[in-house]
Amino acid sequence: MDLLTPGTGLIFWQLLVFSTLFLVLTKYAWKPITQSLKEREKFIDESLESAKKAEEELVNLQKKNEELLSVARKEREKILSDAKKVSNSMKDEAKDKAKEMADKIITEAKSVIESEKNKAMKDVKNTLAELSLDIAEKIIKKDLSKDQSQKKYVEDLIKEINKSK
């Protein structure tokens, strides 16, 4: 049984070596190890917190991007609708101007035609009056005493007028 039970001297020396080793390790190794573990834990916590902040910022940025896209789409639609309105108004304005010009040209053409018609009628009347005067003059110069000679003379003049046309 001696082999199984340690001696008191051995226990003493083992306790002394263990205590010394424990004190040396506590003084020189335990503090730096625990301090580095605390620093590591603190670094991990800070990293996790900064990762959460980065994730929140990413979510906020995504929301802002979606809002900006929404605003941009609305503005694009507004610009397109305004452009359509302006285009339609320009087309309508051009149509109205073209119609006004066409009406003005037609009115001017009608007035020119009417004045030319009146001028032609005046010329015809003047020509007819001159012819009538010429005929009357020639009839007066001729012997008015005989009916037969007057009729023949008028017929000759009419034939002459028809030939000249």
Give the pLDDT confidence of 110-165 residue by residue, as tens digits: 999 999 999 999 998 888 888 887 877 776 666 555 667 777 777 887 888 777 66
Dihedral pair phi/psi, residue 144, rounded to 5°: -90, 5
d(CA 100, CA 95): 9
Q: Is 135 exposed, middle or buried (0-12, 13-18, 19+ CB in 10 A)?
A: middle
Model pLDDT, residue 65: 95
Residue 101 has pLDDT above 90, yes or no: yes
Average pLDDT over residues 74-102: 94
Q: How far apart are CA 159 and CA 96, in angstroms?
A: 57
Whether residue 89 has pLDDT greater than 90: yes
Do the Cβ atoms of 139 and 154 come closer than 8 Å? yes
State what percent of residues in the chain have pLDDT above 90.
57
pTM over 0.85: no
CA 41 to chain centre: 59
Domain boundaries, the chain: 21-129
Helix (H) or strand (E) holding 81: helix 31-141
Per-residue confidence (pLDDT) for residue 163, from 0 to 100: 76
Q: Are 114 and 125 in contact (CB under 8 A)?
A: no
Rounded distance, CA 84 to CA 82, Å? 5
Residue 130 tokens read as 């001159």
Using pLDDT thresholds of 50, 70 and 90, give the confidence band for residue 30. confident
